[in-house]
């Protein structure tokens, strides 16, 4: 998600940023721990960060609300490396986009991470494992994870905008208007992202099935 620079009032932007810092710190800690467990972990995470960066660089403008629609890639990342690491991957991708591509902004970075990384990542991870726990096929679970992660991202973005900018209008009315604004682009994009996620996960399961276990790597033992 790329909320434009300055779109959110300072207090709201600061609140989203401060609230995401503990998850980013946890992500950095977990990255260090898991790098000690496997030399392949760091390059795999970097590859996923690059994938999220590229996938989310294909914007479809939504002019009436000052932002855009696009695939996210965080559903796939959550399936492969878990939701906490997905938050860290999202931070890297969105920061580079804000600095070098003028996609999103630095003041809105915290809100963008919340929608795409936190909500998108945790929803994708939860949906995937819930479906697998009831014996859904890998492809079906991955498709649902990618699709619902994408739609959840834009539902969260709509809430962020509505809660900060509804003014004298009822929050529910503003939220409904924003959700309707995203529907024409995000419904088909969510389906496409579901197909992309399913294809990638099934391909990896056939060629390198061990990569599907990276999200479950145990933490490195504490140094005495």
pLDDT (tens place) for every residue of the chain, 224 residues total: 678 888 899 999 999 999 999 999 999 999 999 988 888 899 999 999 999 999 888 766 655 555 567 789 999 999 999 999 999 999 999 999 999 988 888 999 999 999 999 999 999 999 999 999 999 999 999 999 999 999 999 999 999 999 988 877 899 999 998 888 888 878 888 999 999 999 999 999 999 888 887 665 554 444 44
The structure tokens 């649902």 sit at 144
Which residue, among 50, 21, 52, has the nearest Cα to 153 in the 3D structure?
Answer: 52
Q: How far apart are CA 81 and CA 76, in angstroms?
A: 9
Strand partners, 62: 67
Q: How far apart are CA 224 and CA 25, in angstroms?
A: 22
Q: What CATH number matches the domain at 10-216, 1.10.1760.20, 3.40.640.10, 3.30.390.30, 1.10.3720.10?
A: 1.10.1760.20
In this prediction the pTM is 0.90
């Amino acid at each position: 998600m790329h909320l434009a620079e300055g779109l959110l009032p300072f207090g709201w932007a600061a609140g989203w940023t401060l609230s995401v810092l503990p998850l980013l710190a946890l992500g950095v800690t977990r990255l260090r721990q898991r790098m000690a467990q496997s030399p392949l972990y760091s390059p795999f995470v970097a590859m996923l960060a690059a994938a999220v960066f590229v996938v989310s660089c294909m914007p479809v403008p939504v002019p009436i609300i000052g932002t855009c629609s696009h695939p996210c890639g965080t559903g796939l990342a959550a399936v492969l490396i878990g939701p906490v690491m997905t938050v860290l991957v999202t931070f890297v991708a969105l920061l580079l986009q804000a600095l070098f591509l003028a996609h999103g902004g630095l003041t809105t970075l915290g809100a963008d991470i919340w929608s795409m990384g936190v909500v998108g990542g945790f929803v994708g991870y939860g949906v995937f494992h819930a479906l697998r726990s009831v014996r859904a096929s890998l492809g079906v679970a991955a498709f649902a994870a990618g699709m619902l992660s994408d739609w959840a991202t834009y539902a969260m973005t709509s809430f962020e905008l509505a809660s900060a900018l509804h003014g004298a209008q009822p929050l529910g009315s503003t939220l409904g208007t924003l959700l309707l604004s995203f529907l024409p682009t995000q419904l088909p994009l969510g389906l496409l992202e579901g197909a992309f996620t399913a294809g990638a996960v099934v391909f990896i399961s056939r060629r390198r099935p061990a990569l599907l276990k990276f999200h479950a790597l145990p933490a490195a033992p504490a140094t005495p």
